[in-house]
């Protein structure tokens, strides 16, 4: 990658496996927008997927695109009409901005807005850059006790919160979380914060399962090479009853089957992980036991609650961060995220200029 200069350095995906650092014009805010000097951006699995494959489902990178959608930063300029923020405010950026006018927006389900613009989803640029412009009402002011890194982690935390809400988790719930990657771990943290009595986490990686235990999981199971029905019995034995709610975060067929088999009759099974476009499911098993099968897409109305969870200490997201890089070292950061080298869970990129 070329040596950095100091105007608006950005990590730009040109094509499959072709990620470059380049200088771009510094954007200026329009009405009801703010310019933000980006400080921290977490790498998401979708960023790596775009880098390696150039697409996710119907979203195809057809032109150079700045990556990154888990950002925090400092307000550096105001557009006309911005009242609730000032220059110097520290903010977390909620990356999806809906139209605010359609039926989904008016119903509060703005994550389903067909005209939403979401950072680093083609054709929209992302936040791995020095300066970024965003809608002011989707910037959330950070209290002094919340760091920029924690602010960036509000994005995946909001996914976990939305999943737990869709799963109807409440006081006393017994919960199964399939997958101990970043989204599985934040789902586990949210379930515990929302009152779950016991949470069991599954994965095929012993090292990730150890992280889950260290972060509060009540039990873990390595599911490698085991049949879903047998694993369901193991989950039920470990929880001492069938889970009221199960949240699947891996996208693996066998893990989805496990979640359905394990979930209590009348319970809720939520699909978060995105794997193959078509999967084989034991739907009749879910049907005759009235297991509700639900999906989630990103989140809506979650950032303020996620921020309160972090600010009050109800959730500690700091252990998720295993590696830190500068914007100048973005390619190394992406390679670490891709390979999972060194036990990588969440790789954070610092975008601010170095002293």
- In angstroms, the CA 120 to CA 62 distance is 12
Q: What's the CATH code, domain 160-295?
A: 3.40.50.720
Confidence (pLDDT) at 114: 97
Please compute Rg for the chain using Cα positions. Answer: 20
Q: Identify any residues that bridge with 132 across adjacent strands, giving them in sequence order.
A: 36
Lookup: tokens for 313: 């200490």
Transcribe 177-214 into DSSP letters.
EE--SHHHHHHHHHHHHTT-SEEEEEES-HHHHHHHHH
Q: What residue ranges of the chain are covered by domains with CATH 3.90.180.10?
A: 9-153+317-350
- Local structure of residue 29 (DSSP, 8 states): -
| 3 state DSSP class of 74 | strand
Q: What six digits make up the tokens of 2?
A: 């070329």
Cβ atoms of 176 and 151 closer than 8 Å: no
Structure confidence at residue 354 (pLDDT) = 67
What pLDDT was estimated at residue 57? 83
Pairing of strands 18-23, 33-42: unpaired
In degrees and rounded to multiples of 5, residue 307 shows phi and psi of -65, -40
Query: What's residue 22's pLDDT?
Result: 96
Ranges of CATH 3.40.50.720 domains, the chain: 160-295
Residues 6+ apart with CB under 8 A from 258: 178, 202, 223, 228, 231, 232, 235
Q: Mean pLDDT of successive 10-residue segments in the chain (355 residues)?
A: 63 97 96 98 96 92 97 98 98 98 98 98 97 98 98 98 98 98 98 98 97 98 97 98 97 96 98 90 97 98 98 98 97 97 96 77
Instruction: For domain 9-153+317-350, give the fold.
Output: Quinone Oxidoreductase; Chain A, domain 1 (3.90.180)
Which residues 6+ apart lie within 8 Å of 338 measured at CB? 48, 51, 52
Cα dihedral 255→257→259→264 (10° resolution)? -160
Q: Are strands 139-141 and 131-135 parallel, antiparallel or unpaired?
A: unpaired
Residues 6+ apart with CB under 8 A from 151: 40, 72, 90, 91, 92, 140, 142
Quick count: other Cβ atoms within 10 Å of Cβ 29? 21
Give the C-alpha separation, 217 to 200, whole Å: 6
Q: Find the distance separating the first CA and the last CA of the chain, reported in whole Å.
A: 21
- Indicate the pTM of the whole model: 0.96
Question: For residues 247 and 175, is the Cβ–Cβ distance under 8 A?
Answer: yes
- Cα 323 to its chain centre, rounded Å, is 17
The confidence score (pLDDT) of residue 2 equals 37
């Amino acid at each position: 990658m070329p040596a950095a200069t100091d105007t608006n350095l950005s990590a730009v995906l040109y094509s499959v496996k072709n990620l470059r650092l380049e200088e771009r014009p510094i954007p200026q805010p329009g009405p009801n927008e703010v310019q933000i000097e980006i400080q921290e951006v977490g790498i998401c699995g979708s960023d790596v997927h775009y880098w390696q494959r150039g697409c996710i489902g119907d979203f195809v990178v057809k032109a150079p695109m700045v990556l990154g959608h888990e950002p925090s930063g400092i307000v550096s300029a105001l557009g006309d009409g911005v009242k609730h923020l000032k220059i110097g405010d520290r903010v977390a950026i909620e990356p999806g901005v809906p139209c605010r006018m359609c039926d989904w927006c008016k119903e509060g389900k703005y994550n389903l807005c067909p005209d939403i613009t979401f950072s680093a989803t083609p054709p929209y640029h992302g936040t791995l850059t020095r300066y970024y412009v965003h809608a002011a009402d989707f910037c959330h002011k950070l209290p002094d006790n919340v760091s920029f890194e924690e602010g960036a982690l509000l994005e995946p935390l909001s996914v976990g919160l939305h999943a737990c809400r869709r799963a109807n988790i409440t006081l006393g719930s017994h919960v199964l979380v399939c997958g101990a990657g970043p989204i599985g771990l934040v789902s586990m943290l949210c379930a515990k914060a929302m009152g779950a009595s016991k949470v069991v986490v599954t994965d095929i990686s012993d090292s990730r399962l150890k992280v889950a235990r260290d972060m509060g999981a009540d039990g873990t199971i390595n599911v490698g090479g085991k049949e879903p029905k047998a694993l369901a019995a193991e989950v039920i034995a470990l929880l001492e009853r069938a889970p009221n709610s199960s949240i699947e975060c891996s996208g693996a067929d066998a893990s989805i089957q496990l979640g359905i088999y394990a979930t209590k009759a009348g319970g809720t099974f939520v699909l978060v992980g995105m794997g193959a476009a078509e999967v084989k499911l034991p739907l009749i098993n879910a049907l005759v036991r009235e297991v509700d099968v639900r999906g989630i897409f990103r989140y809506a109305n979650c950032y303020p609650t996620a921020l309160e969870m972090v600010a009050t200490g109800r959730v500690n997201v700091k252990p998720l961060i295993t590696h830190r890089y500068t914007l100048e070292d973005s390619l190394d950061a992406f390679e670490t995220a891709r390979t999972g080298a060194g036990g990588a869970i969440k790789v954070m990129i610092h975008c601010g200029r170095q002293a």
